[in-house]
Amino acid sequence: MKSVVFGGGCFWCTEAVFQNLKGVTKVFPGYAGGNRENPTYEQVATGVTGHAEVIQISYDPTQISFQDLLLVFFATHDASQLNRQGYDEGSEHRSLIYFTTKEQEKLASAMIQKLQANGKKVVTELKPLAAFYPAEVYHHNYYKLNSEQPYCQFIIVPKLEKLWKEFGHLYAEK
């Protein structure tokens, strides 16, 4: 098993996207990138902790490649937006990849360079993972438990539809 931390805006969205992929064994929402130990959601939302809403993904590289995880990551959020994703604004909603291996760093860096060479603006932060702090329990499996909420319907459902359309071959069976 390997792990990586992605930030692509709201962790409810990124959790919903990645927990449906083959080979992904766990998706855990949390906080990373800041200077406060064990922050709360309310503290992170102020923007002063330096943390972002992130997900920690555990995956089996024999079932899904890191390259495929990167493709899904960049396809399901806007890596050109600095400190925001759609309506979610602030540094806690920044695009980031916190790698746990040198191979992940190499592959992520190459993908960012390729996107930029193709004319895409990419502001994704790429750093080694320093610390990950789990989010409060009420954030876990948010979409699965609250799929009828307006935020889920208007923001998360289109991401899941795009995932299915573009990456149906990576989808775990329902």
DSSP annotation of 155 reads: I
Q: Which residue in the list 4, 5, 10, 112 is annotated as catalytic?
A: 10
**Per 3-state DSSP, what percentage of the chain is helix, strand, and coil (rounded to 5)?**
40, 25, 35
Distance of CA 35 to the CA centre of its chain: 20
Nearest to 12 by CA among 54, 45, 47, 48: 54
- Gap between the Cα atoms of 16 and 12, Å rounded: 6
10 is catalytic: yes
User: What is the set of active-site residues?
Assistant: 10
